[in-house]
Amino acid sequence: MMTASRRLAPWLFLTPFLLLFAVFWLWPLVRSLVLSLHHTAGPHHQTYVGLGNYAFLLQDPLFWQAVWNTTRYTVLFVICELVIALLLALALNHPHLRWRGALRFAFFSPHLVGGVFVALLFSLLLAQRFGLVNVMLDQISGMLHSVLPFIPATGAEINWSGRPELARLAVLMAGLWLSIGYAMLFLLAALQHVDRDLYEAAQLDGAGRWQRFRQVTLPALMPTLGFLALMGMIGAFQLFELPYVLFQNGSGPERAGLTIVMYLYQQGFQTGDLGYAAAIGWAFTVMVLLLSLLQLRLWRRE
Amino acid sequence: MRRRPQLLQLTICACAAVWLLPFLWMVCASFKAPSEFFSSTFLPWGDLGRLTLDNYRALLGGFPFLTWLLNSLFLASLQTVIVVLLSSLGGFALATYRFRGRATVVALMLLTLLVPGQVLLPSTYELVNSFGWINSYAAILVPGAISVFGILLFRAAMSAVPVELLHAARIDGAGELRLWWDIALPSVRPTVGAFTLICFTGTWNSFLWPQIVLQDESKYHLPIGMTSLVGLPEHDVPYGLLMAGTLLSILPVVALFALLHRDFHTGVMTGAVKG
Amino acid sequence: MPFTPGRPLLVLLVLALVSGAVIALRPTPPRATLTYWIFAEAHRHELTPILDGFAHERGITYDLDLVAGNALGTRLESLFMSQARGPQVPDLVHVEIHQVGRFFRPPVDGMGMLDLTPYFETRGERRISTQGDPGHHGWAARHDDGNIYVHDGSTWRLDPARTRGDTWKDRIISARFAPWMKDGRIMGAPQDVHPMTITYRDDLFREAGVDLAACLTWPEFHRACLTMQDFWRAKGVQPRHAMELFESGSDLLQLMLLQRGVNLVEADGRVRLADPLVAETLAFYAPLVTGPQRIGADAGLNIAVELDAGTICACFTPDWRIFYLRHHAPTDGAGNRKMEGRLRMMPLPRFSASDAPTSTWGGTCVIIPRTCPDPDLAFAAIERCFYSREAADVRLRLGSMLPPLPELWDHPLLHQGDPLYGGQRINELFIELAPHLPQLVMTPATSLAMEALAQVQAKAVTRVRTLGTDGLVDACQVWLREAEHDLLRRIARLDLIRPDQSTP
């Protein structure tokens, strides 16, 4: 029997959330669309420009560079993340592996640290003169070079934040170090749920290790991989903190570190044009939505 | 035939060691004076006396690090409590009651997960400015109380609560709120644990929005405070100090994880299955 | 009732309450009367003794905050956007010349800082008490009797036509108002002049048979540096770069352009990115930093260390850099600078005879936010810190920065030999060059133009590294034209310049 309190209960419970949601999510979303049709300079000066911001956006080389940088990063990031995380998960899934808990924690720890602190750490790791990365590369390549002369010695002072290709690589490395452990956890959990019987059945059918992987493991992991790919893509597309902190609040050499969100931040909160920033935000949203739909459809077909 | 996977064990342990090298370097660097950076990679093994606590002293004495730490603790813990309670309440409502409009609400929420939050930045800033909340924690805590992911997470978890238990409690005279507090919440404790960790870490490491709204140095939390030190010339902020600060900044989250790791892994497990 | 969500959440709740209580109950430090944000350590050294005296006299307290450059810009922008009032708003802020653009975008009444023109036009009036008081030809001053007198070269003569003696606007070198003006209004207080010279390790150059100061043109200078580098390379001394030059960032390129009379965006709104002079200068600069004709390397922050070690043997020295060289030069065990006496200074080489022998790099102004509660006090602090003889005294003891008032340039410290430079009177060189300082124009579009130039410079450098210098000028011209086209579109969209933007 439905009492009045029982009928009201769900709405009462949801009210605080719905209220906050309306004020701090729905309203700003709509307002953002309106803002994007204006041109702001300082807190009091707003002029209506219709689709002017969007017209400019379409021809704005900085915006498209940001899109290119972000897309390139996202593709590389998702592929590397999933491949490496899968390898690690498969390794950790081995039934007789010791110290699994500790190893799991080791790979996951950067994710706990968070983007900002990882970027701070990396900015020093990649320091030209004394950074750990350069020192190790120098020693390792030096050793290899003396044994196999065709491997070049890298020299001691690679300028990570000075050359655009290296800068992009630096951001990718930091991003992967940060997130692989997280993806690995999910894959490991999914692996441990795979039905043992399926493996035994495949083995009885004469399937080798690679075929067992393709026929049993991979299909079982598909949902998780799809989920991680989608979340990874959306997350990578929103890249901001890593390049921002790595390049000391700038966009890096030849703007190699300029991402869409960073461009939004620069235009909105450094140049002060909130209207243009809102337009960037909406273009960004449309892109993410399209990419997500595309990815969902692709995955469903697999 | 079950052999101990020696090679695999060795390889994976080596990988883990390399993975952890940055942390080791960070710890070593936090005890080094500026000139030491050029002379030794990790530690000056020959002369450990050259290590110094100066970086820590400078950090705690010369910069408002403790203030930032306190602010981080306050923001992260309060935000987490609010979000967990609100989300579990909402999730409970969506899971337990069949009411008109439920499907719409859920569909709307799923859609919002695909919209990147950054599109809201300029207009939320305007809104928060009009409330006069710029440079106050309300600007962070109030908009941050919304977590669609949280509600959906709790909805999924709480839909497993047996309806009979709820009926029985109702017959015993419990009000609806009691059902949430006494029945549903305890049965999803692992989810609560996992989500607590996620929220806490999220707020602890948050950067973009606090960077925009916090203006007063004494109100900064750790990410903003530490990054504000970047860019000062080397002779004003030695690198070791940055590393000392980073090390201290990540310890509380690690501590919380130690407390919650079992719940977290359980949560990931169930998530992976449901995914 | 047990806390059902579990122990961790309980722990967090307690933590939230405890930390919240501590924060709420923490006594807010009493706000100093005057809060002053700066971004350079050198400023702190100079300002502290002066502000101590000023605060003591007026019975106030002050707070000098060192904030990292980028963070300062972001915080200030945030304050302006939210029009904040209250204890977190500073009274005085140093704004570096490259950050000017972002704050000067809105129209004058929408800008976050106070229009200082009234202060400059009415305060700082020259006073005299007798007609025999010292003065220079053309000065106007108010006599104690209330009338205005003009100096004719030997004595003061009454001038009934004038109503006002020279105020700060007349006494400060007018070229230094230009970067901080918008629509004819002075929005920032100038505090420096920054003429530019080149400092070099004379001993290392001479040993290679090169007298660097004799090079009057840039190509000559380039050849001399190459000779010097070859000499030391043959002797096995590596690395020994002739000069500190930046591969990325167009600061130094712009300084050369300024010598040639080119501002990327002129006062009348003309954009000169695609000017042939720019392409020519860029094509000269790019091979200096990369490729076989390279003479430059980046010193990072350690220019004094590099000069001492001889890894870099010369650098541009605007007057503000002397402080760093003096204070960060490595010393031997007894505290003596190892480079003592080995440095020399020369004016800049030129491209053609009509170029200026100096240029300028950097610059800082002081702004007062519009919401400052006591702007009069803040301006009085500015006067004391930068336009007073006492301030000149402190500044010159520490470094070599010329104050923006030519009348203060007779200070004895400006006419002594500098031991670091082997007794050379470097300040007299600065004073000699100061009148020839090219006019630096800053508009909101300038920072965009600078960035565009930096991007083209990067392309040029890559091209030299891979293809050498053939056809470099033409390639640069093409890139610059593209960059200018994009810049003009941006300027049009943002409505950044109107014709009378920054003429004083």
For residue B219, what is the domain's CATH number? 1.10.3720.10
Contacts of A259 (CB under 8 A, 6+ apart): A66, A69, A70, A73, A239, A240, A243
Measured between beta carbons, the chain C residues lying within 8 angstroms of A273 are: 494
Please tell me the distance in Å from C71's CA to the nearest CA on chain B.
6
Q: Does B212 contact C78 at a Cβ distance shorter than 8 Å?
A: yes
Nearest residue of chain C to residue B127 (CA atoms) = C82
Instruction: Note down pLDDT in tens along chain C; length 504 residues.
Output: 466 677 778 888 888 999 989 988 887 777 788 999 998 877 888 899 999 999 999 999 998 988 877 778 878 888 887 777 777 789 999 998 877 777 887 778 878 899 999 999 999 888 888 888 888 888 888 888 888 889 888 888 888 888 888 999 989 988 888 888 888 899 999 998 889 999 999 999 999 999 999 999 999 999 999 999 999 999 988 778 999 998 877 889 999 999 999 999 887 778 999 999 999 999 999 999 988 889 988 776 678 888 888 889 999 999 888 888 888 888 887 778 888 889 999 999 999 989 999 998 888 999 999 989 899 999 999 999 999 998 888 888 877 788 899 888 888 888 888 888 998 998 899 999 988 888 888 887 888 898 889 889 988 998 998 898 889 999 999 999 999 998 888 887 766 544 333 322
Confidence category of residue B271, pLDDT binned at 50, 70, 90: low
CA end-to-end distance (rounded Å), chain B: 34
- CA dist., res. C409 & res. A60, Å (int): 49
CA end-to-end distance (rounded Å), chain C: 75
Mutate to test the interface with B, among A3, A11, A17, A274 (most CBs of B within 10 A): A17
Residue pair B81/C12 in contact by the 8 Å Cβ criterion: yes
Could you report the predicted ipTM of this complex, rounded to two decimals?
Answer: 0.86
Least confident of A155-164, B76-85, C155-164, C341-350: A155-164
Place of tokens 């869409």: A260
Q: Please state the three-class secondary structure of C110-156 as a single string.
A: HCCECCCHHHHHHCCCCEECCCCCCCCCCCEEEECCCCEEEECCCCE
Mutate to test the interface with A, among B2, B8, B12 (most CBs of A within 10 A): B12
Buried/exposed C354-371: b ≥16 CB within 10 Å, e otherwise = ebbbbbbbbbbbbbbbbb
Query: Other CB atoms closer than 10 Å to residue A137's CB: what's the count?
Result: 16
Contacts of A68 (CB under 8 A, 6+ apart): none
What is the number of CB-based contacts under 8 A between chain B and chain C?
99
Q: What is the DSSP letter of A269?
A: I
Q: Does C16 contact B78 at a Cβ distance shorter than 8 Å?
A: yes
Nearest of C397, C14, C365 to residue C188 by alpha carbon: C365
Nearest of A273, A291, A213 to residue A57 by alpha carbon: A273
pLDDT of res. C366: 94
Please tell me the distance in Å from B165's CA to the nearest CA on chain A.
16
Least confident of A91-95, A126-130, A262-266, B56-60: A126-130
Query: Other CB atoms closer than 10 Å to residue A70's CB: what's the count?
Result: 24
- CA dist., res. A244 & res. A242, Å (int): 6
- CA dist., res. A205 & res. A208, Å (int): 9
Is residue A204 scored above 80 in pLDDT? no
pLDDT of res. B171: 80
Pinpoint the residues of chain C covered by CATH 3.40.190.10. Answer: 34-120+173-193+362-422, 196-360+436-494
Confidence category of residue B162, pLDDT binned at 50, 70, 90: confident
CA angle at C301 for the pair C297 and C302, rounded to the nearest 5°: 75
Q: Once rounded to an integer, what is the mean pLDDT over residues B162-168?
A: 82
Q: Does C106 contact A273 at a Cβ distance shorter than 8 Å?
A: no
Please tell me the distance in Å from B175's CA to the nearest CA on chain C.
15
Q: What is the DSSP letter of B232?
A: B
pLDDT of res. C347: 94
Least confident of B152-156, B254-258, C197-201, C298-302: C298-302
Residue pair C453/C254 in contact by the 8 Å Cβ criterion: yes
Confidence category of residue A206, pLDDT binned at 50, 70, 90: confident
Please tell me the distance in Å from C86's CA to the nearest CA on chain B.
11
Helix extents (H) in chain A: 4-21, 27-35, 52-58, 61-92, 100-113, 115-125, 132-147, 164-191, 196-204, 209-212, 218-237, 241-246, 260-265, 274-301
Mean pLDDT of chain B: 84
Measured between beta carbons, the chain C residues lying within 8 angstroms of A44 are: 110
If contacts are CB pairs under 8 Å, which of residues 1-20 in chain C contact chain B? 1, 4-6, 8-9, 11-13, 15-16, 19-20
Residue A55 lies in domain: 33-126+161-280
pLDDT of res. C502: 31
Does A73 fall in a domain?
A: yes
Is residue A300 scored above 80 in pLDDT? no
Q: Once rounded to an integer, what is the mean pLDDT over residues A179-184?
A: 92
Nearest residue of chain C to residue A267 (CA atoms) = C102
- Beta-strand relationship, C296-297 and C243-244: parallel
**% of chain B residues with pLDDT over 70:** 93
pLDDT of res. B183: 80
B28/C68: higher pLDDT: B28
Residue C343 sits at φ, ψ, to 5 deg, of -95, 155
Nearest Cβ partner for B268 among A107, A186, A245: A186
Q: Does A43 contact C110 at a Cβ distance shorter than 8 Å?
A: yes
How do residues A61-78 score in pLDDT, each as one tens digit? 889 999 999 999 999 999
Give me the CATH number covering residue A269. Answer: 1.10.3720.10
One-letter amino acid for residue A48 of the chain? Y
Q: What is the DSSP letter of C104?
A: T
Nearest Cβ partner for B121 among A20, A129, A281: A281
Place of tokens 């640290």: A113
Q: Is B231 left (phi over 0), alpha (psi -120 to 50) or beta?
A: left
Question: Chain B contact for C68, CB < 8 A?
Answer: yes
Nearest Cβ partner for C111 among A39, A42, A270: A42
One-letter amino acid for residue C385 of the chain? C
If contacts are CB pairs under 8 Å, which of residues 28-57 in chain A contact chain C? 39, 41-45, 52, 56
Confidence category of residue B170, pLDDT binned at 50, 70, 90: confident
Is residue A1 scored above 70 in pLDDT? no
Question: Chain B contact for C134, CB < 8 A?
Answer: no
Kind and range of the H or E element at B18?
helix B6-29
Structure tokens at A134: 């350069």
Nearest residue of chain A to residue B83 (CA atoms) = A17
Residue B122 lies in domain: 64-224+243-274
How many structural domains compose chain A? 1
Q: Does B70 contact C19 at a Cβ distance shorter than 8 Å?
A: yes
Q: Does C81 contact A269 at a Cβ distance shorter than 8 Å?
A: yes
Query: Other CB atoms closer than 10 Å to residue C233's CB: what's the count?
Result: 12
Please tell me the distance in Å from A30's CA to the nearest CA on chain B.
9
Residue pair C424/C418 in contact by the 8 Å Cβ criterion: yes
Mutate to test the interface with C, among B228, B257, B264 (most CBs of C within 10 A): B228
Q: Does C489 contact A59 at a Cβ distance shorter than 8 Å?
A: yes
Residue pair B200/C6 in contact by the 8 Å Cβ criterion: no
Please tell me the distance in Å from C86's CA to the nearest CA on chain A.
18
pLDDT of res. B272: 53
* Residue C264 three-state SS: coil
Does A74 fall in a domain?
A: yes
Q: Once rounded to an integer, what is the mean pLDDT over residues A227-244?
A: 91
B35/A170: higher pLDDT: A170
Confidence category of residue B273, pLDDT binned at 50, 70, 90: low
One-letter amino acid for residue C43 of the chain? H
Does A196 fall in a domain?
A: yes
Q: How far from the centroid of its chain's Cα atoms is residue A65's Cα?
A: 18
Residue C198 sits at φ, ψ, to 5 deg, of -120, 130
Contacts of C171 (CB under 8 A, 6+ apart): C124, C126, C387, C405, C407
Residue C305, burial from CB neighbour count under 10 angstroms (0-12, 13-18, 19+) = middle
Q: Does B41 contact A135 at a Cβ distance shorter than 8 Å?
A: yes
Contacts of B108 (CB under 8 A, 6+ apart): none
- CA dist., res. B151 & res. A22, Å (int): 15
Distances (CA, A) of C76 to A168, B10, B233, C73, C306: 30, 54, 20, 5, 35
Nearest of A207, A13, A245 to residue A125 by alpha carbon: A245
Measured between beta carbons, the chain B residues lying within 8 angstroms of A105 are: 261
In this complex, which chains have at least 3 CB pairs below 8 Å with chain B?
A, C
The CATH classification of domain C34-120+173-193+362-422, taken from the options 3.40.190.10, 3.90.1150.10, 3.40.50.2300, 3.30.465.10: 3.40.190.10
Q: Once rounded to an integer, what is the mean pLDDT over residues B205-222?
A: 89
How do residues B11-20 score in pLDDT, each as one tens digit? 899 999 999 9
Is residue B24 scored above 50 in pLDDT? yes
Is residue A283 scored above 90 in pLDDT? yes
Least confident of A42-46, B258-262, C465-469: A42-46
pLDDT of res. C499: 37
Q: Does B253 contact A114 at a Cβ distance shorter than 8 Å?
A: yes
The CATH classification of domain C196-360+436-494, taken from the options 3.40.190.10, 3.40.718.10, 3.50.50.60, 3.30.300.30: 3.40.190.10
C85/A166: higher pLDDT: A166
Please tell me the distance in Å from C380's CA to the nearest CA on chain B.
25
Structure tokens at C325: 């060289």
- Beta-strand relationship, C364-367 and C92-96: antiparallel
Confidence category of residue B3, pLDDT binned at 50, 70, 90: low
Q: How many residues does chain B have?
A: 275
Is residue A43 scored above 70 in pLDDT? no
Does A298 fall in a domain?
A: no
Query: Other CB atoms closer than 10 Å to residue A162's CB: what's the count?
Result: 16
In this complex, which chains have at least 3 CB pairs below 8 Å with chain A?
B, C
Q: Once rounded to an integer, what is the mean pLDDT over residues B215-242?
A: 79
Measured between beta carbons, the chain C residues lying within 8 angstroms of A253 are: 248, 458
How many structural domains compose chain B? 1
Radius of gyration, CA atoms only, chain B: 24
Mean pLDDT of chain A: 85
Does B39 fall in a domain?
A: no
Least confident of A197-206, B178-187, B249-258: A197-206
